[in-house]
Homo-oligomer: A and B are copies of this chain.
Amino acid sequence: MSPKMVLLLVISLLHTYIALASDPDPVQDFCIPNTEFSSTTHQCKNSSFVTVEDFVFFGIKKPAKKIEKSRFLATAVTSSVFPGLNTLGMSFVRADFGPGGVNVPHFHPRATETAFVLEGKIYSGFIDSQNRVFAKVIEKGEVMVFPKGLVHFQMNVGDSQATILGSFNSQNPGLVRIPNTVFGSGIEEELLEKAFGLSSKEIGKLKKRFGPQDLS
């Protein structure tokens, strides 16, 4: 094994470390992951090499791609794409909706979200653990809060494109989409039939729609 290989191995091992960090108060001003040797290493860059560019993100000035009718597109900006967020306990997302576009019921296991409407009219809501829905149409400049870990959803009910800026109190809030998680992950069919009271045929249809093949 060559020293070079050792080095790469080491770096990849180091890479895994950051995964152990959580969202407590930082114990230093900041920690910009080092990407000198690999796009994946995450140790702190020597602060003398840190520049203002490390603290600015340019990637959500416009939608990631053209937003057609019924299209939904989200760009999540966590510490893995905006290293300046590392150890600082925050992240954000830009979500664009074509007319009728839907952000399916989902939740973030590790954060509360405040959603600010940049453009459009959006039917938006969440469900509490007493199974009550809190939903309404919100418009440009209005803000809705989704409590930590609760299922929420959005749909563009306007005639033009809609856009939301969501902010999170974790550098990696996580995302669990209900339809894909439940029907696309491979849970025993019998369990799903019993859980939802659906026939094997109905479950099969849902599994087909949300199964792995659909993720590619």
**Shortest Cβ gap from A115 to chain B (Å):** 10
Q: Indicate if the CB atoms of A191 and B56 lie closer than 8 Å.
A: no
Is A62 among interface residues, defined by CB-CB distance under 8 A?
A: yes
**Shortest Cβ gap from A44 to chain B (Å):** 4
Neighbouring B residues of A74 by C-beta, 8 Å = none
**Shortest Cβ gap from A3 to chain B (Å):** 5
In the bound assembly, the distance between CA atoms of A123 and B136 in angstroms comes to 37
Neighbouring B residues of A215 by C-beta, 8 Å = 131
**Shortest Cβ gap from A42 to chain B (Å):** 8
Q: How large is the interface on A (under 10, 10 to 19, 20 to 34, 35 or more residues)?
A: 35 or more
**Shortest Cβ gap from A23 to chain B (Å):** 6
Q: Which of A14, A44, A89, A123 gathers the greatest number of chain B CB atoms within 10 Å?
A: A89
Total copies of this chain within the assembly: 6
In the bound assembly, the distance between CA atoms of A135 and B151 in angstroms comes to 23
Interface residues of A in 25-77 (CB under 8 A from B): 25-31, 34, 41, 43-47, 50-58, 60-62, 70, 77
In the bound assembly, the distance between CA atoms of A126 and B73 in angstroms comes to 27
Is A149 among interface residues, defined by CB-CB distance under 8 A?
A: yes
**Shortest Cβ gap from A131 to chain B (Å):** 5
Interface residues of A in 137-175 (CB under 8 A from B): 138, 140-151, 153, 155, 165, 167, 169-172, 174-175
Q: Indicate if the CB atoms of A22 and B13 lie closer than 8 Å.
A: no
Interface residues of A in 108-149 (CB under 8 A from B): 109-110, 112, 114, 116, 118, 123, 125-136, 138, 140-149
| 17 examples of A-B residue contacts, CB within 8 angstroms | A14-B43, A16-B31, A17-B20, A20-B21, A21-B21, A25-B148, A26-B148, A29-B129, A50-B134, A55-B144, A55-B146, A56-B136, A82-B145, A88-B112, A89-B169, A114-B167, A155-B191
Residues on A facing B (Cβ under 8 Å):
1-7, 9-11, 13-14, 16-31, 34, 41, 43-47, 50-58, 60-62, 70, 77, 82, 84-85, 87-90, 92, 100, 102, 104-105, 107, 109-110, 112, 114, 116, 118, 123, 125-136, 138, 140-151, 153, 155, 165, 167, 169-172, 174-188, 190-191, 194-198, 202, 206, 209, 212, 215
